[in-house]
Amino acid sequence: MKLYTSTRAPNPRRVDIFLAEKGIEVPKVEINLNNLEQKKPEFIERNPAMRVPVLELDDGTCISESIAICRYFEEIQPDPPLFGVDTLDRALVEMWQRRIELNLMLPVAMVFRHLHPGAAVLEQPQVAEWGEANRTRVIEAIEMLDRQLADRPFVTGDRFTVADISALVGIDFMRPSKFGVPENCANVLRWHSEVSARPSAKA
């Protein structure tokens, strides 16, 4: 088994945090995104979407999409459960994970890809207006999260789940675009300092 990954990129970090929580180690192959190694034919064979992370199994099967990779590890090692513990909990984790991915992570990525000079190699054309428009969406998503975190320690309740991982990675990826959690979102700020203190957050 091998994990094709890229240090400091947010989606690979989701898998790294997930694996750290499970205590699983997987050998890694570094893909240099700035050198566009993800667009080379041998990588496209592994992932036609030309993105990291990709998990290659020993029989050559490749799994891409961070959450699909995490689900694979959840099945082979259920403890600790990070996708919910029963029917209702699994549905709630799925709901929040998708909300966070679509409403927070994606707009944060749009801000970075369309405004950061370092992202020009990945995103052509860079449309500054689209990047700016997404800043508002990010803040709206954080406000949504703030309401959710008003009366529970983690995004879906008493347990740390994959929804917390996506939210943590999304929020931390605001940093290169030089914005962050608004000061009035006290619940998110409390949650963020707690989840950042987990050893897995160093991933």
Point out which residues bind ligand GSH (CB under 6 A). Answer: 9-11, 33, 38, 50-53, 65-66, 122
Closest CB 190 distance from ligand GSH, rounded Å: 27
Closest CB 106 distance from ligand GSH, rounded Å: 9
Closest CB 159 distance from ligand GSH, rounded Å: 22
Closest CB 53 distance from ligand GSH, rounded Å: 6
Nearer to ligand GSH, 111 or 185 (CB): 111
Q: Can you tell me the distance from the alpha carbon of 131 to that of 187, in angstroms, rounded to the nearest whole number? A: 26
Nearer to ligand GSH, 34 or 182 (CB): 34
The count of other CB atoms within 10 Å of the CB of residue 103 is 18
The count of other CB atoms within 10 Å of the CB of residue 72 is 14
Backbone angles phi, psi at 135, to 5 degrees: -60, -40
Nearer to ligand GSH, 35 or 136 (CB): 35
**Secondary element (H or E) of residue 29:** strand 28-30
Nearer to ligand GSH, 85 or 127 (CB): 127
Nearer to ligand GSH, 83 or 185 (CB): 83
Closest CB 20 distance from ligand GSH, rounded Å: 17
Residue whose pair of structure tokens reads 């008493």 in the numeric block = 158
Whole-number Cα distances in Å, 114 to 47, 84, 108:
24, 35, 10
Residue whose pair of structure tokens reads 């099945």 in the numeric block = 75
Backbone angles phi, psi at 4, to 5 degrees: -80, 125
